[in-house]
Structure 1
Amino acid sequence: MSTVRAPRRDAQANRTSILTAARVALAQDPNASIDLIASTAGLSRRALYGHFDDRSALIAELIRTGAQRFNAIAEQPLANEAPIALAELAARLWHHIAHIQTVTAIALDDAHVADTAAALAPLRKTVAEIVERGRRTNALRTDIPDDVLARLIEETARMVVRVDVVGPDAATTAVRAVLSIAGLSWQEADALLAARPEIIEAAA
């Protein structure tokens, strides 16, 4: 009588080590090789391929698991007013970028835009809802279609990360950039953040 063998105890540990090593390597270099990732994990290339068919499969898993945190942020309650909701979302995401460096680095790599977009579908849905609400109330710009504006907001956030904004005012700069592309003047963005300092403070 045959029996089903339980998975080796170290199988999950090795998979976890591979994902951890990949996060470290890819956060430093989005083009990090499989060999580098395997050696960082203390495993052979063959052992790595025992868990992932290829580099693309490994990256897809990193995107999927890492995006869960961004999507969870998007599910948190936001203000009813579209500009305030957009500022809150941008600030919260900015303050979590340091904790999800790998997904951030991959998201900036055009080769993985499709995978990243799919993994971040809940976040993109939240942005689209804010845009629709803001345009309906004339709180956000109405000179371009909803879907185009939502995409421009996404790309603006992406570019702010790409230029590596740093310093104590980095979060404020990121939020201002997003509000600007959404249709607020710099004076309006300044007034909003001055009236709602908790947007930046609470997200830290």
Structure 2
Amino acid sequence: MTSTTSSRRSDARANRAGILSAAADAIASDPRASLDAIARRAGLTRRAVYGHFVDRDELVREVLATGAARFNAIAEEVDDADSRVALARLASRLWAEAAHVQAAAAIALDDAHVAETSAALAPLRRRIDAIVRRGQESGELRTDLPAPTLARLIEETGRMVVARVDAASATARSVAVRAVLSIAGLSWTEAAALLAQHPDLEA
């Protein structure tokens, strides 16, 4: 392989990564962002985008897959023994991926991608369910709701916060974490006390 060929491949990978990042940002701001809008955000022409993706739908699927892979990896890494801290850490770390989280939330609301979204995020959902079950068994989380229902409510709460809160806000991560803890059964004072012991969860 010549250095020129290697350089071209490197540029192509960089362009593709740039397109995916631009698409995530664009879709997070506008779920119906056009291919032209995405191309402009990436600093490329529409034709250049077509050089990497057959159409907008393929690009959206790749954005979803990329984001889901990040989310699922984060879920695997969260292993706090205290289920309350585990849920807070999961919410906090997912929020760090704000653009991808918001893009995934927007895609999830599109009927055309419901099945894909569900399949792509299955590992994350299983992790939330496992944390909830463990937390209910230990008495750390509320037990007035079945574990599957509570896990789904936690997921939906996170999605609602993503959709309603400005990701650029300095308090956005704190709002997301506290909302999840509230649905999980903690009072606002209990959540505040827990987060005071783990300040990194809101940093």
* Matching residue of 2:91: 90
User: For residues 12 and 187 of structure 1, what CA distance do their matches in structure 2 show?
Assistant: 48
One-letter amino acid of the counterpart of residue 139, structure 1:
E
Secondary structure of 2:36's counterpart equals: helix
From the superposition, tell whether residues 16 and 115 of structure 1 become closer, same or farther in structure 2 (CA, over 3 Å). same
Trace 1:147-186 onto structure 2 (pairs within 5 A).
Answer: 147-165=148-166, 167-186=169-188
Q: Contact between 2:165 and 2:172, CA under 8 Å: does it hold in 1? A: no
From the superposition, tell whether residues 89 and 38 of structure 1 become closer, same or farther in structure 2 (CA, over 3 Å). closer
- How many angstroms does 1:35 deviate by? 3.4
Q: Contact between 2:39 and 2:45, CA under 8 Å: does it hold in 1? A: yes
Between 145-154 and 159-168, the greater mean CA deviation after superposition: 159-168
Alignment gaps of 5+ in structure 1: 1-5
Secondary structure of 1:30's counterpart equals: coil
Name the % identity.
55
Between 150-159 and 191-200, the greater mean CA deviation after superposition: 191-200
User: For residues 120 and 31 of structure 1, what CA distance do their matches in structure 2 show?
Assistant: 21
Q: Contact between 1:78 and 1:89, CA under 8 Å: does it hold in 2? A: no
RMSD (Å), alpha carbons: 2.8
CA deviation digits over 1:113-140, x for unaligned, max 9? 4333322222222111100101112221
User: For residues 171 and 132 of structure 1, what CA distance do their matches in structure 2 show?
Assistant: 24
CA deviation digits over 1:168-189, x for unaligned, max 9? 4332222111011111122221
- How many angstroms does 1:82 deviate by? 1.1
One-letter amino acid of the counterpart of residue 19, structure 1:
L
User: For residues 15 and 153 of structure 1, what CA distance do their matches in structure 2 show?
Assistant: 33
One-letter amino acid of the counterpart of residue 177, structure 1:
A
User: For residues 11 and 174 of structure 1, what CA distance do their matches in structure 2 show?
Assistant: 36
One-letter amino acid of the counterpart of residue 190, structure 2:
E
* Matching residue of 1:197: 199
Trace 1:18-57 onto structure 2 (pairs within 5 A).
Answer: 18-38=19-39, 40=42, 42-45=44-47, 48-49=49-50, 51-57=52-58
User: For residues 84 and 13 of structure 1, what CA distance do their matches in structure 2 show?
Assistant: 37
From the superposition, tell whether residues 42 and 171 of structure 1 become closer, same or farther in structure 2 (CA, over 3 Å). closer
User: For residues 15 and 197 of structure 1, what CA distance do their matches in structure 2 show?
Assistant: 37
Between 84-93 and 26-35, the greater mean CA deviation after superposition: 26-35
* Matching residue of 1:105: 103
Higher Cα radius of gyration: 1
Q: Which runs of 4+ in 1 moved over 6 A?
A: none
* Matching residue of 1:188: 190
User: For residues 101 and 172 of structure 2, what CA distance do their matches in structure 1 show?
Assistant: 19
- How many angstroms does 1:61 deviate by? 0.8
Q: Contact between 1:62 and 1:103, CA under 8 Å: does it hold in 2? A: no
User: For residues 65 and 148 of structure 1, what CA distance do their matches in structure 2 show?
Assistant: 27
One-letter amino acid of the counterpart of residue 177, structure 2:
V
CA deviation digits over 1:2-24, x for unaligned, max 9? xxxx9x85765664454344234
- How many angstroms does 1:191 deviate by? 2.0
